[in-house]
Structure 1
Amino acid sequence: MPVGTTVWRLLTRLDAALLATVLAGWLRSRTRLAAARRPPRYRTVIAVDGKTLRAARQPDGSQIHLLSALDTSTGIVLAQVTIAAKSNEIPAFAPLLDAVETVLGSLNDILFVADALHTQTSHANEIAARGAHLLVQVKRNQPTLYGQLKTLPWPQIPAGDRTRDRGHGRRETRTVKAVTLHTPGGIAFPHAQQAVRVTRTRTTTSGKTSRETAYLTVSLPAIHAQPTDLQDWIRRHWHIENMVHHVRDVTFREDLHQARTGTGPAVIATLRNTAIGYHRTNGDTNIARATRRPLDLITDVTSSYPTTQ
């Protein structure tokens, strides 16, 4: 049996992108029956977000940063790309779409949900060219677009959906309003079909109340994106943080892992994504408890290949 250092030397020489594609395809093959039973209104929603491996520092002191795409319905990370040194997530967005398309075969009618960093004209055009759709938040770092959304006649627009939750010592109400963009030329963002406003009102047990307002655009018309859908899709962006990144940090202690050789950091992150996705597809919600049954995963991998010794 090879020792740990031998295994590590192998891992650091693997093509991290290819490994992520192969393992994501294997996980999806285990969920195809469930996918066939989805309701007619179902839409695949993919959350995009980045994560820094804080302890994996390069010789020049820079940190490894990865951009990932999560299928929010299955908990499977479909693709992961490494951000180039001295760069950011924006140039890596198109390669991430390429990787997702390799796994799925097509991006037609898929909805991508991303944070304000990806409210980029090039991203909207790239996604539209592939037949997909984009839901993104708009912040003040884009003053023209933000101003256009903020000055829409929101007081005259009725609330489309409202949800109330309790937990973590507070009550939260989320109200969604959406309006079709009929203005000449739309707004300063290509392919935007609707403007969305989300108002979050939080009240703590001490009685303190706070309110937060967020503005978004979506490239789907109202007939395909009702306020109840938008409410659900907006919250799904948090899935990649809660279901993957948080688990990698807390359960796998990823931010303490100092490995930085070759493709090692990205490969190890992919293996963690695969373990998490495997347990999610088995219906496990407590990943820490599920990882105490490593033979389940080993058996499933080896049983797929009868010649494996």
Structure 2
Amino acid sequence: MRCHLLRRRHAPSRSAIGRVLERLDTDALDAAVGAWLAHRHSAAAPGRRRVIAVDGKALRGSALLDQPRRHMLSAVTHGCPVTLAQAEVGSKTNETRHFQPLLAPLDLGADVITFDALHSVRIAYKPDLNGT
């Protein structure tokens, strides 16, 4: 915000806001906002068990001529809907690999996690060249 000579305040211009948003680390911002919302949501109802749904969705309107729609995996609370964490997974087939890393930074405690049958499948990892 800039102060005018007559003590009026001016909001930043569209181009200034655009430049700031272009320079942001969007993954870090997403993680910080998610952590803040998770803390705020758990502090609002201490001692209550949260119910969190994990599901993937294709983002409508995100497809380009040469690229399919973007696919996100999100952890959202029931009741008062708050997105606690989200990650871009590329395609629906990649959701299973991103399930545990998505929930890892969250303090789940005694929370209940709901998810669709896709996440109950065991992942078969291929060994690397060292055989591990």
Task: Identify whether the pair has TM-score above 0.5, normalized to the shorter chain.
Answer: yes
TM-score by length of 2: 0.65
Aligned to 2:74: 68
CA pair 86-109 structure 1, distance change in 2 beyond 3 A: closer
Runs of 5+ unmatched residues, structure 1? 123-309
Letter in 2 for 1:82: E
CA pair 92-29 structure 1, distance change in 2 beyond 3 A: closer
How many Å separate the matches in 1 of 2:70 and 2:17?
A: 21
Runs of 5+ unmatched residues, structure 2? 1-10, 124-132
Instruction: Say whether 1:96 aligns with 2:110.
Output: no
Instruction: Say whether 1:15 aligns with 2:25.
Output: yes
CA pair 9-30 structure 1, distance change in 2 beyond 3 A: same
- Equivalent positions of 1:51-90 (< 5 A) are 51-58=57-64, 60-84=66-90, 88-90=94-96
Contact 2:72 2:90 in 1 (8 A): no
Aligned to 1:109: 110
CA pair 13-92 structure 1, distance change in 2 beyond 3 A: farther
CA pair 73-88 structure 1, distance change in 2 beyond 3 A: same
- Report deviation, 1:37: 5.5
Letter in 1 for 2:44: A
Of residues 57-66 and 25-34 in structure 1, the stretch that sits farther from structure 2 once superposed is 25-34
* Length, aligned pairs only: 113
Contact 1:17 1:80 in 2 (8 A): no
Cα-Cα RMSD: 2.8
Aligned to 1:118: 119
CA pair 109-19 structure 1, distance change in 2 beyond 3 A: same
Contact 2:37 2:82 in 1 (8 A): yes
Greater helix fraction, Structure 1 or Structure 2: 1
Deviations 1:30-61 (A, max 9, x none): 445532253xxxx3221011121221124522
Question: In percent, how many aligned pairs have the same letter?
Answer: 39
SS in 2 for 1:61: coil
How many Å separate the matches in 2 of 1:112 and 1:81?
A: 17
- Report deviation, 1:65: 1.1
Letter in 1 for 2:111: I
Q: Of 24, 47, 53, which aligns to 2:53?
A: 47
Aligned to 2:3: none
How many Å separate the matches in 1 of 2:65 and 2:16?
A: 23
Contact 1:44 1:73 in 2 (8 A): no
Of residues 106-115 and 67-76 in structure 1, the stretch that sits farther from structure 2 once superposed is 106-115
Deviations 1:89-126 (A, max 9, x none): 2222122123xxx2x3x33433221112222124xxxx
Contact 1:51 1:67 in 2 (8 A): yes
Deviations 1:262-294 (A, max 9, x none): xxxxxxxxxxxxxxxxxxxxxxxxxxxxxxxxx
CA pair 82-14 structure 1, distance change in 2 beyond 3 A: farther
How many Å separate the matches in 1 of 2:38 and 2:30?
A: 12
Deviations 1:52-103 (A, max 9, x none): 12211245221111110012243211001011369532222122123xxx2x
Q: Would you identify which runs of 4 or more consecutive aligned residues in structure 1 move more than 6 Å?
A: none
How many Å separate the matches in 1 of 2:14 and 2:35?
A: 27
